[in-house]
Amino acid sequence: MRQLHQLAKAAGKLYFGSATDNGELSDATYVSILKDADMFGQITPGNGQKWQYTEPTRGSFSFTAGDQIASFAQSNGQLLRCHALVWHSQLPNWVSSGTWTAAELTSVINTHIANEVGHYKGQCYAWDVVNEALNEDGSYRDSVFYRVLGDSYIPIAFKAAAAADQDTKLYYNDYNIEGSGSKQQGTIKIVKLVQDAGGKIDGVGMQAHLIVGSTPSQSTLESVIRSYISAGVTEVAYTELDIRFSSLPPSESGLQQQASDYGAVTRACLAVDACVGITIWDYTDKYSWIPSVFPGSGAALLWDENFSRKPAYSTVSSILRAAATGGGGSTGIPTATSTAPEPTSTSCTVVKWGQCGGRGYTGCTACASGSTCTYSNDYYSQCL
């Protein structure tokens, strides 16, 4: 029985992954599942790379927590998504409460990014460069960065990240941007803002902290993904997926609804080649962030708190398997995804935007006509 990442790869995606956190790595049962690269081919540090941990006092850098997760991923052959450089939250007081001129704060951002991205150079498949810059109405969030620099802090951050590592993918990452509306439009505005300023932005990360029964439909999810690609990024990803119950415990029908909601997200990603992967925001309810922030809510992940797989796991797995074997069948997966390569096959063609090489990659290397296999970084070559 193949596992989630194996199936996602066989379906043409780059990864299926999970976030994790340092404290959890002493839980042997937890680790035995997390370290299985066939299940999770990608890892994101849930906290350890945030500003509060990496530069707690000005000019004094500590990468201990992030490094622990990075070396976990590396030793298990898993891709690392890196998270997050410029964010209003988990920001040390010396930044958030400082009195800054525009030049000073620009220097603070540049120094932080140069050091952190420089430290992780060559290790990160992607970086969440700017995180959660938007209000729900699509306007810019009031943060120290916005107050001092206006929207210019966003291209400043992207340019600093590009200067520190030319090979990592640079993402804007936010929640409630998976569906259509003002925040989606705000995200498109950010993509254009960075590009108009001459900066590089490769991807939009849709966090996807969703609610059972209120998850957008597959067709809405798909059209929103396409809107970001049309705006000018080359890829998108679901970066922090979880789908929570607003009240607990979940009923049997609730678990079926949750499975259906996870299915919509999985199908949407499969339907658009430029959606490179799905990361769940930890994999077990035992370590979900949700109950501490939304008391009474939770049960949002694919494994319950006793490490049993939920109906949603079976749904995600069977949708990926159908795409991997080229059988859309009753899953309703569009035919386009069924042309994706099986990783062990040699006589196959990779669709445009698909992966065609990289460290650990064992799939097809021939690109569909009209596209060429292009080196992106050590982990990833793509048909462009």
d(CA 201, CA 172): 8
Q: Is 379 in the site for ligand G3I (CB under 6 A)?
A: no
Identify the helix (H) or strand (E) that includes residue 315: helix 311-324
Q: Is 377 in the site for ligand G3I (CB under 6 A)?
A: no
| Residue 220: CB minimum distance to ligand G3I, A | 21
| Residue 89: CB minimum distance to ligand G3I, A | 5
Q: Give 20 or 184: the residue with its C-beta nearer to ligand G3I.
A: 20
Among 15, 125, 289, 380, binds ligand G3I (CB under 6 A): 289
| Residue 289: CB minimum distance to ligand G3I, A | 4
Clarify whether 305 is annotated catalytic. Answer: no
Q: Is 66 in the site for ligand G3I (CB under 6 A)?
A: no
- How far lies 305's CA from each of 45, 132, 245, 247, 301, in Å? 20, 28, 14, 16, 9
DSSP string, 231-249: HT-SEEEEEEEEEEBSSSS
| Residue 142: CB minimum distance to ligand G3I, A | 17
Q: Give 222 or 240: the residue with its C-beta nearer to ligand G3I.
A: 240
Query: Within 142-251, where are the H helices?
Result: 144-149, 153-164, 182-196, 218-231
d(CA 66, CA 330): 42
d(CA 16, CA 323): 14
Among 116, 178, 222, 240, binds ligand G3I (CB under 6 A): 240
| Residue 372: CB minimum distance to ligand G3I, A | 35
Q: Is 273 in the site for ligand G3I (CB under 6 A)?
A: no
Question: Among residue numbers 73 through 92, which ones bind ligand G3I (CB under 6 A)?
Answer: 84, 89-90
Residues 6+ apart with CB under 8 A from 104: 98
d(CA 223, CA 180): 8
Among 20, 184, 207, 355, binds ligand G3I (CB under 6 A): 207
Catalytic: which of 55, 132, 222, 235? Answer: 132
Residues 6+ apart with CB under 8 A from 197: 152, 155, 159
Q: Is 337 in the site for ligand G3I (CB under 6 A)?
A: no
- Token couple for 339: 């042309």
- How far lies 98's CA from each of 64, 107, 131, in Å? 25, 13, 20
Question: Taking CB under 6 A as the rule, which mask of x and - marks residues 30-49 in contact with ligand G3I?
Answer: ----------------xx--
Catalytic: which of 55, 116, 178, 240? Answer: 240
Closest by CA to 151, choosing from 115, 114, 192, is 192
| Residue 47: CB minimum distance to ligand G3I, A | 5
Residues that bind ligand G3I (CB under 6 A): 21, 46-47, 84, 89-90, 131, 207, 240, 289
By annotation, the residues acting in catalysis are 132, 240
